[in-house]
Structure 1
Amino acid sequence: MPLPERVSDLAAYDLLLSVARLGSVGAAARAHGISQPSASSRLRHLERRLGLQLLERSPRGSRLTEQGALVADWARTAVDAAAFLDAGVTSLLGTTESRLQVAASMTVAEYLLPQWLAVLRTRAPHTSVALTAGNSDEVAAAVREGRAHLGFVEAPDVPRGLTARTVGRDELTVIVAPAHPWARRRSGITAGELSATPLVSRERGSGTRRYLERALDGVGAVPLAAPLLELPSTTAIKTAVADGVAPAVLSSLALTAELANGTVVAVRVRDLDLTRALRLVHPRTSPPTGAAGELAAIARHDCPPTAA
């Protein structure tokens, strides 16, 4: 069965993803090395082909509509797959000169690294990348044991034996099903209410879980209640929350589509700062050089100061 015409131009979807990530058509155009009029023309052509309005345009700039955010989220998997396909073909052609081993926590691996690797591909086309995703403890172990040249973690502390640099910040968000009582709490909830509530959570060793425990402890809340359910992936947690199992706390980077389509609702915590650092880690005696140094520079430049 041939690929449907409306999804055949992945370059246009890649451009849409850059608008979502960078916040404007102009910034996306610069990232892709094309003019702003050309970028606008490609995006309008994509809108006509889909029959959807993807961007809301104003004199102050352009931003994604709810439909545009959903399309961008769905397109990410296809664009990432195309990048991996290209890397695989390149390796078969025998042009690979170096191999970069990267370990990343789940949030960074799913929502930030694909874009960083796409930029790296343009700067170091003969570098192949082997990516391992896991929780922050697993990432730190991979870097310490020499199985990864560098890693990206979300944990609140610097892993033992490693040097860390902050590359950006991420905001955790409490989410519930639309029918949950917290969804109607316009004033939000307190840190005490959150800490006393069994959540749907990642396993121990997860940077998100450890950061939440540390943040609650910092405001004097009671220790975080034992999870109602532990699940191994962000997607599984979002599904459980939408099904009404229990609230959860996840990176805002992972929630664009679900918040836009209303399958989950964000809940404000009045007395708790849930902004955390995203860190690059490497061995103390081996600062990143070559392709690893290039990727580190891309991450520091590209990761938003605050992800919301």
Structure 2
Amino acid sequence: MSRTEEQGEIPAGGSLAHRVPDLGGLELLLAVARLGSLGGAARELGITQPAASSRIRSMERQLGVALVDRSPRGSRLTDAGALVTDWARRIVEAAEAFDVGAQALRDRRDSRLRVAASMTIAEYLLPGWLLALRAQRPDTAVSLHAGNSTVVAERLLADEADLGFVEGLTVPTGLDSVVIAHDRLIVVTAPAHPWSRRRRSLAAEELASTPLILREKGSGTRQVLDAALGGLARPLIELSSTTAVKAAAVSGAGPAVLSELAVGEELAMRRLVRVPVEGVALARDLRAVWPTGHRPTGPARDLLSLTRG
């Protein structure tokens, strides 16, 4: 065993973290130099005097030199301790600058939130979540891009959004997800449509073979319906938003399949009528999504917590 190892010192070489005292120890040494008292330095830093003494001894073993002379009259730096203190001051000042810079990065991140959401979530769920977020983070500017589930995935993967919400059957490639809510698709028509007066439930086969007012390909609603029925007839009308599909159904243009979230008011006011369907499950999960391996932080993390609450 070498003389250095016998004295408890760290041999030269190896990790810098093993050879340089941590910031807590250097801050303690600076406080001792300023106050002339180990006990006073401990009180200033919110630690016990025995803990402060132990930290000084640990630094002395690590560096291989005595740093502080302790006596009943107080604590005085040794010549080596005074030199180490000068070096420590520069390190602590650099760490403070580092902390200021890191805080500036966090402030810049927290000043904005870019959200991409599929249409149903954007229209019927996100407004409430964003109001709650504004109460928590009044200084965060939020931008929302509404599109189908395919567009949401594209924006996330292109770093054009910080958090996304989708309604499809599967999670797009390259994204992680968590289920935040559940939804059900229902068949609706205007009161004057023959289906509104049916006494028997609509069979899945008849629904699949009937031209419907549908969302565009790539939408979560279209994906779920197509998968549940094993294929669809050529659309009666193809529209790019839930609101447009609903308006067309209310006008009497034909039957539509929409989220239960989207038609509550229309059903209550009898502007639309729900048509029971048998032999098909139209439930779906609503998910928050983000790029794989990049868990949401800052405002995106807070919004995600609100949706799950």
TM-score by length of 2: 0.63
Q: CA RMSD in A?
A: 1.5
Equivalence for 2:226: 213
Question: Which residue does 2:301 correspond to in 1?
Answer: 293
Partner Cα separation in structure 2 for residue 100 and residue 243 of structure 1: 37
Matching residue of 1:117: 130
1:3-61 Cα offsets, whole Å, 9 max, x none, are xxxxxxxxxxxxxxxxxxxxxxxxxxxxxxxxxxxxxxxxxxxxxxxxxxxxxxxxxxx
Q: Deviations over 1:135-164 (max 9, x none)?
A: 110001111111001100001111011001
What is the CA–CA distance in structure 2 between the aligned matches of 1:292 and 1:97, rounded to whole Å? 9
- Alignment counterpart, residue 244 of structure 1, candidates 235, 249, 252: 252
CA shift for structure 1 position 285 = 1.9
**How far has the Cα of 1:237 moved from its partner?**
1.5
> 1:240/1:143 Cα in 2 relative to 1: closer, same or farther (>3 Å)?
same
What is the identity, as a one-letter code, of the residue corresponding to 2:281? D
Q: Hey, what's the Cα distance between the residues in 2 that align with 1:295 and 1:216?
A: 34
Q: Deviations over 1:179-217 (max 9, x none)?
A: 222111233201111100010111111110111011112
Alpha-carbon distance between aligned partners in 2 of 1:104 and 1:166, rounded to the nearest angstrom: 14
Instruction: Report what 1:196 is aligned to.
Output: 209
The CA distance in 1 between the partners of 2:201 and 2:242, in whole Å, is: 23
1:152 paired residue number: 165
Q: Determine if the alignment matches structure 1 residue 231 to structure 2 residue 239.
A: yes
The aligned counterpart of 1:178 is 191
Work out the CA distance in 2 between the residues paired with 1:186 and 1:107. 30
Kept in 2: contact 1:96–1:126 (CA 8 A): no
TM-superposed CA distance for 1:97, in Å, is 5.1
Matches within 5 A, 1:1-308: 98-217=111-230, 223-301=231-309
Q: How many Å separate the matches in 2 of 1:145 and 1:287?
A: 16
Amino acid across the alignment from 1:284? T
Matched residues in 1 for 2:146 and 2:269: separation? 28
Task: Report the CA distance between 1:288 and its aligned residue.
Answer: 0.4
- By how many angstroms is 1:243 displaced? 2.2
Q: Which has the larger radius of gyration?
A: 2
Cα–Cα, structure 1 residues 291 and 97, in superposed 2: closer, same or farther, change >3 Å?
Answer: closer
| Distance in structure 2 (CA, Å) of the matches to 1:190 and 1:172 | 15
Structure 2 counterpart SS, 1:266: strand
CA distance in 1 between counterparts of 2:136 and 2:194 reads: 50
Moved more, 181-190 or 103-112: 181-190
Q: What amino acid maps onto 1:206 in structure 2?
A: S
Q: Which amino acid aligns with 1:186?
A: R
Distance in 1 (CA, whole Å) between partners of 2:183 and 2:229 is 17
Identity across the alignment (%) = 52
Aligned CA distance change for structure 1 residues 291 and 260 (closer, same or farther; 3 Å): same
